[in-house]
Structure 1
Amino acid sequence: MAQQLWGGRFGDAEGKTNECLAKLNCSLPLDSRFYAEDIDGSIAYAEALARAGLITDKDAADIGAALEVVRREWRDGSIKFLSSDEDVHTVNERRLTELIGDVGKRLHTGRSRNDQVITDMKLWLRRGIRETLAGLRAVIEASVAQAKQNLGTLMPGYTHLQRAQPVQFSHWMLSHAFALQADCQRLLELKERANLLPMGSGALAGNPLGVDREWLAKRLNFAGVTPNSMHAVGDRDFVVDFIYCCSLASLHLSRLAEDLILYATKEFDFIKIADGFSTGSSLMPQKRNPDSLELVRGISGSICASLSGIMMTIKGTPTTYNKDLQFDKQYAFDAFDRLQDALTVVEGVIKTMQLNRERMESALSPDMLATDWAYYLVRKGVPFRQAHHYIGEVVAYAEKHDLELNEIPLGELQKICKEFNVDIAQVSDYGVNVEKYDVTGGTATKSVKQQLKTLQNFIEELKQTK
């Protein structure tokens, strides 16, 4: 009969765990996800025990070989669970002992599940960050490809959802790509910041048996060790940081989804979402619903809920480890999984969507030239605040007389400001005006190409990230 890792204190009858508590206490459905990380950490710890003279080199080798057998059982699905298995650590240690006997019982010397589970979580975090970066990179790549393919296509830029200034579609597309680039950078920073080994912290007081934590950190590719054992076993800030990164990325995907949903309506008709990422109505045969993007918006709320959940879980916990922290995995894995789903869908939408270039450009209107008309006066020597006031009067005149800006007679313009001249007609070409915004980050073709190059270089750097 298998024993609980903590069961010696409790009698066989009176001390038996209540069934409802046993169910609540069992984290195996969640933490089985990092069985490989648990095995990696355990093999390294066995080697550290041998270096400290606590077990023999042969013991460490036998433990390592047996754990590789356990790894294969996890991989091929032949691993068997018992009712006494509370978590992945219990399963791995039980199977280890079943395979090699009492030698397996030496593995936990000086180690607590408190420092074990957080080490496993940090090892999993590397994989979680790597796969999240890959998903973000794929969406950035799809955005860059659309921007390159449609370079020069003009559309209205919006503020307050009102037409504002002419911009390139590519400039708009890359605005979302740069938001995702920032998400990648946050994850890369977290990857470095969280890369300190907690193992060796024990339950809370550290390890008194001479285990070389610095060697163990190098063995597991950590940059160093956590400096305080009490802080280490209760620290879940890196989990909060990861879920925050996922939450912010999901917000950026949600904003992109909202833009695309609007642009796909008949009222805008700027893009067409592919059939593979659209659905129909059970009642109205004509409908093409952007359910893929609406689900992405909804997923964002769920991921942000995980962020609130982990923060509120941590808020009330006293120093060091408490069982509340068991829920960190639920929040982290859920945020990771949902973000992966959203990234995959958004990548597919961007890759397959079609642009209605004529509709985009026909949505441009002369009133959107107002800012460029103000700059026209600035170039004539009029202070900008005064130029802004003059163009406001021009706009008011156009509205009063039901005219477009470029339909107002020159004589009427000169009554408002004497600096207007026949060359104002040259400020009526949307394409010419767009090309004047050639500052770094602007919407001119030169600037957009620079943005494309920046993102392409970043993509190549991401591909090298391990």
Structure 2
Amino acid sequence: MSSSDNTKLWGGRFTGSVDPVMMQYNESLTFDRVFYSQDIRGSIAYARANTHTGILTQHEFSEIERGLKQVQKEWENNTFEVRPEVDEDIHTANERRLGEVIGKEIAGKLHTGRSRNDQVATDMRLWLRDHLDKLEGYLVDFLRVIAARAEKEIEAVMPGYTHLQRAQPIRWSHWMLMYGSSLMPQKKNPDSLELLRGKSGRVFGQMAGLMMSVKGIPSTYNKDLQESVEPMLDHVKTVGDSLQIATGVLSTLAIRPENMLKALTPDMLATDLADYLVRKGVPFRETHHISGQVVALAEKVGKPMDKLSLEELQGVDKRFEKNVMEVFDYQKSVEMRSAKGGTSKSAVMEQIEAVKTALSGGR
């Protein structure tokens, strides 16, 4: 093997051998080889453009295209032979092999007018474009499952939570349309959902790591940005896998409406009690305080709020009338939340239809 065969693109700047630790520290072929197709497609497009500028003849372009397509087949057939001593990254590996296939004289012209930085940016964009299409498909499947289950199980009512405390009654469908969470009651040990929750930390960490790498570099491309490739590859795989797992979980879990209903307690209707007085013209700030007094009374006498007598309620505030007992109805409570984005049946169906419309492309 001649010394020229061992020359890297940046080798002419140095004399003597390169430290093997530095070689390993610098190389990226172990992970950026996944860009082989995008790198070849980008190179063919670049060569084609250079025929229009006169840099390449039609014959030279044809040879480059023929050679690169052969290189692509070698990658696809897993017959591409990597030479670690010279193949620093996917770009140099492809160009080195192209020279072996069609000759270095023509292959050497492929790099005219561009840098590996251009190739890195182009390859990553093309790879992301391909995989974002896949991720979009996974997301669409996930949203379709959410919409279908929300519509089918719209009658189920359950507690809504705030600050980890049970708050007001809401529809299960309303909760599903809010966010794909690990609180779904489908099994005793929701490993898949716990893993999903854990993976969110992983992908957020990758984002923070990239931000840390980028914030200190000057303009244009710097070698620091090599650190963006491995997290990106893992990130896309993690998001894709997570969407598929979430879709599988949501499409197969079984809800227990009777347990949801049992989890509801009258104190969750405290806000409805306040709203009752608001409809009678009492300022909300005052009704909120009165409602709290009723809750305190129920706790004091050891009875659920809906078992308090009218006399006991009027002992808190004389403006309570006989029809106040109608407040203690969970279905009526959720139906009162009919504003856009609310938990009434009509509001939830509006949200479901909005999701369906978005999934059908707005048609």
User: TM-score normalised to the size of structure 2?
Assistant: 0.93
Contact 1:66 / 1:100 at 8 angstroms: preserved in 2? yes
| Code of the aligned partner of 2:32 | D
Distance apart, 1:126 and its partner CA:
0.9
1:150 corresponds to which residue? 153
Residue 139 (1) aligns with residue 142 (2): yes
What SS does the aligned partner of 1:82 have? coil
What SS does the aligned partner of 2:110 have? coil
2:88 corresponds to which residue? 86
Q: Distance in 2 between matches of 1:414 and 1:135?
A: 56
1:108 corresponds to which residue? 111
Gaps of 5+ in 2: none
Residue 456 (1) aligns with residue 356 (2): yes
Q: How does 1:205-284 map to 2 (within 5 A)?
A: 256-257=181-182, 259-260=183-184, 271-273=185-187
The alignment-based identity, stated in percent, is 43
User: TM-score normalised to the size of structure 1?
Assistant: 0.73
What SS does the aligned partner of 2:361 have? helix
| Code of the aligned partner of 2:332 | V
Gaps of 5+ in 1: 178-255, 261-270, 274-287
The correspondence for 1:95, drawn from 97, 105, 115, is: 97
Distance apart, 1:330 and its partner CA:
0.9
Q: Distance in 1 between matches of 2:307 and 2:107?
A: 88
Contact 1:10 / 1:16 at 8 angstroms: preserved in 2? no
1:353 corresponds to which residue? 253
Q: Distance in 2 between matches of 1:363 and 1:8?
A: 70
What SS does the aligned partner of 2:179 have? helix
Distance apart, 1:37 and its partner CA:
0.9
Distance apart, 1:15 and its partner CA:
2.7
Q: Distance in 1 between matches of 2:213 and 2:291?
A: 55
What SS does the aligned partner of 1:167 have? strand
Residue 124 (1) aligns with residue 127 (2): yes
The alignment's C-alpha RMSD in Å is 1.8
2:67 corresponds to which residue? 66
More off after superposition, 411-420 vs 325-334 = 411-420
Q: Deviations over 1:141-174 (max 9, x none)?
A: 2222221221110001111111110100000011
Contact 1:93 / 1:104 at 8 angstroms: preserved in 2? yes
Count of residues paired in the alignment: 358
| Code of the aligned partner of 1:452 | I
Q: Distance in 1 between matches of 2:11 and 2:241?
A: 44
Contact 1:377 / 1:419 at 8 angstroms: preserved in 2? yes
Change (3 A) 1:15 1:6: farther
The correspondence for 2:341, drawn from 441, 444, 456, is: 441
Q: Distance in 1 between matches of 2:255 and 2:17?
A: 66
Distance apart, 1:132 and its partner CA:
2.2
Contact 1:148 / 1:170 at 8 angstroms: preserved in 2? yes
Q: Deviations over 1:51-93 (max 9, x none)?
A: 1111102211221122111111111211111121111101111
| Code of the aligned partner of 2:158 | M
Greater Rg by CA: 2
1:249 corresponds to which residue? none
| Code of the aligned partner of 1:412 | E
Residue 41 (1) aligns with residue 21 (2): no
Distance apart, 1:444 and its partner CA:
0.5
